[in-house]
Amino acid sequence: MDKLEAMRVYRHVVETQSFSRASELLGLPRSTVSRMIKDLENSLAVQLLQRTTRKLNVTSDGQNYYAECKKILGDIAALESSFPGKAGQPRGRFKIGMPQSLARHCILPGVAEFLERYPELELILCSSDRVVDLIQEGFDCVIRTGSVEDSTTLVARQLAQFKWSVLASPQYIARHGKPARIEDLKNHHAVGYLTHSTGRTTEWSFIDKDGVVPVRMKETLTVDDTDAYIQAGLQGIGLIRVASYLVKPYVEAGELLPCLEEHAVDMPLFLVYPQSRHVSPAVRAFYDWSKMVLGMQAVER
């Protein structure tokens, strides 16, 4: 049995959750894929997959083996990329994750150019506001805000830096005035943004001479969608606090006016990927491209 080929087949089965889909992607008969997985389990003397007529489940041993397979195969691909020629070109399945608002407003509008540049990549873009487990969920990399705590197994490289901006529509300011100090916020109300992971609305924070100041706003409306949140701010329902890259066009058009800019908290964006001796060609290519795209939109560097 070709162990590396079996590992490659196993990785595809786990990531597609299907023998049939894996066989299509690999260009192999389904019976060959099934036999290779069975031979692999026999050689390891463990059960990697639990098969039923309706579902394919990965066992605990299977998850651990998948993580190691992905690391080894990634190291091989990255090693080959260190040599000139076709071997160094990004290719194959490439799974990335990022916040929904970032995907919608910054990445997706230009992703066609990225795919044209690297036509041998099969890109899977997952947009979600939840924090994913890169290794267990099979991500090659994700874009995250803020610092990354797990520095022993993950690498974080900064892509850009934005601000958490507090904004109000001209109509709102005409009715309620513009807050000039953090203390003024007790006389204002805001649109709340519901975070499903906590079941609560997001608390605001600001930079002051004494450090970070948390503020819990009075909320007249609560939403759980970024576009709805911005629309509520545009309609003058209340103050909103969002990443500056989301509202740059509205600020430039005068439809939203920044408030308390001197107290705004920085919002760095990082590309995060599993620690490895070699960075894969796809991760390196996506880092360079996304850094360029986000850098063009950043208001603060």
Q: Does 277 have pLDDT greater than 70?
A: no
**Average pLDDT estimate for 276-290:** 86
C-alpha distances (whole Å) from 3 to each of 8, 9, 28, 45 are: 9, 10, 16, 14
Q: How far apart are CA 218 and CA 221, in angstroms?
A: 9
**Average pLDDT estimate for 81-90:** 62
Q: Are 276 and 74 in contact (CB under 8 A)?
A: yes
Nearest alpha-carbon partner for 221 in 244, 245, 191, 195:
191
Q: Are 69 and 7 in contact (CB under 8 A)?
A: yes
| pTM attached to this predicted model | 0.67
SS3 string of 123-147? EEEEECCCCCCCCCCCCCEEEEECC
Banded model confidence at residue 88, pLDDT cuts 50, 70, 90: low
Q: How far apart are CA 153 and CA 72, in angstroms?
A: 14
Q: Return the amino acid letter for 197.
A: S
Q: Does 183 have pLDDT greater than 60?
A: yes
**Average pLDDT estimate for 8-37:** 87
Tokens of 120: 């041998």
Q: What single-letter DSSP state applies at residue 187? A: G
**Average pLDDT estimate for 101-116:** 91
Q: How far apart are CA 175 and CA 187, in angstroms?
A: 12
Q: Per DSSP, what are the bridge partners of residue 142?
A: 97, 272
The owner of tokens 């506001």 is 129
Q: Does 295 have pLDDT greater than 90?
A: no
Q: Return the amino acid letter for 104.
A: R
Q: Does 301 have pLDDT greater than 60?
A: no
Q: Over the Cα atoms of the chain, what is R_g?
A: 23
Residue 141, Cβ neighbours under 10 Å: how many? Answer: 26
Q: Does 2 have pLDDT greater than 90?
A: no
Nearest alpha-carbon partner for 290 in 74, 77, 93, 125:
125
Nearest alpha-carbon partner for 47 in 36, 58, 32:
58
Banded model confidence at residue 299, pLDDT cuts 50, 70, 90: very low
% pLDDT > 70, the chain = 90
Q: Does 300 have pLDDT greater than 50?
A: no
Q: Per DSSP, what are the bridge partners of residue 239?
A: 190
Buried b (16+ CB within 10 A) or exposed e, 121-133: bebeeebeeeebe
Q: Does 78 have pLDDT greater than 80?
A: no
Banded model confidence at residue 215, pLDDT cuts 50, 70, 90: very high
Q: Does 151 have pLDDT greater than 50?
A: yes
Q: What single-letter DSSP state applies at residue 17? A: T
Quote the pLDDT of residue 149.
63
Q: Does 219 have pLDDT greater than 70?
A: yes
